[in-house]
Chain A
Amino acid sequence: EPEVTQTPSHQVTQMGQEVILRCVPISNHLYFYWYRQILGQKVEFLVSFYNNEISEKSEIFDDQFSVERPDGSNFTLKIRSTKLEDSAMYFCASSAFGGEKLFFGSGTQLSVL
């Protein structure tokens, strides 16, 4: 069964450092997303990406965040200067149709020290 893959599974970084989280969406999907989940909290939308551009973003997705699809398979989330409050599980997701039946990767646990 096709799946969304994410790397790394865990990332530990110092406050102020840049991190890049990587995702390989399901190959025939056209819509890509990043969500995050702080421990004990709900899953929160960050950004959606379609046709090589951002289609929607939340208030969380400020200037410190960026996304990129550098080639035909990878989809990345960059946090330029990490803060303590960025510590969370970051999930990548993809879907065949926008906002419909998202399939999530297993997540990257980001810890900012």
Chain B
Amino acid sequence: RKEVEQDPGPFNVPEGATVAFNCTYSNSASQSFFWYRQDCRKEPKLLMSVYSSGNEDGRFTAQLNRASQYISLLIRDSKLSDSATYLCSYSGAGSYQLTFGKGTKLSVIP
């Protein structure tokens, strides 16, 4: 089983739509979780950390479900500038290594 699985997409959504991505992970000892966004041929940029209690940053909401071993990202009121690949990642207990998924590609269409 892959360490981190994400639907590769692409998700093509109109401006203003709400879109949700899920990511499943296999390592039950995973400690910290993050969503990054990556524009084509650019570096990953930290979008937000993910907590069990859920956290929100403007139009973005992230959620962690440890029992089912998945994390989610919800984007409301999509903007053209949200078009990117969204990477989920985690680090394990006592490890500094971030494990990334292959990413989910989002295209927001005018």
- Chain A interface (Cβ within 8 Å of chain B)? 31, 33, 35, 41-45, 48, 50, 55-56, 58, 89, 91, 98-107
Contact = CB atoms under 8 A, between A and B. Distances in A.
B43 A107 contact: yes
A100 B91 contact: yes
A86 B64 CA distance: 35
Contact of A100 (B32, B45, B92): B32
Contact of A42 (B43, B45, B103): B103
Contact of A45 (B31, B49, B97, B102): B97
B1 interface: no
A89 B41 contact: yes
A65 to B, nearest CB: 15
Given A91-B43, A99-B92, 15 more contacts: A33-B96, A33-B98, A35-B98, A42-B102, A42-B103, A55-B96, A58-B97, A91-B44, A99-B31, A99-B97, A102-B46, A102-B98, A104-B45, A106-B43, A107-B43
Contacts of A43: 38, 44, 87, 100
Contacts of B46: 101-103
Contacts of B42: 106-107
A31 B34 contact: no
Interface residues of B, number: 23
Contact of A101 (B31, B49, B102): B49
A43 B99 CA distance: 8
Given A41-B102, A42-B102, A100-B32, A105 B97 contact: no
Going nearest first, the 9 A-B pairs with the smallest beta carbon separation are A99-B91, A98-B96, A104-B43, A99-B96, A48-B96, A43-B100, A42-B102, A45-B97, A42-B100
Nearest to A91: B43
14 contacts: A31-B96, A42-B100, A42-B102, A43-B87, A55-B96, A56-B96, A56-B97, A91-B43, A99-B92, A99-B95, A99-B96, A99-B97, A100-B49, A101-B46
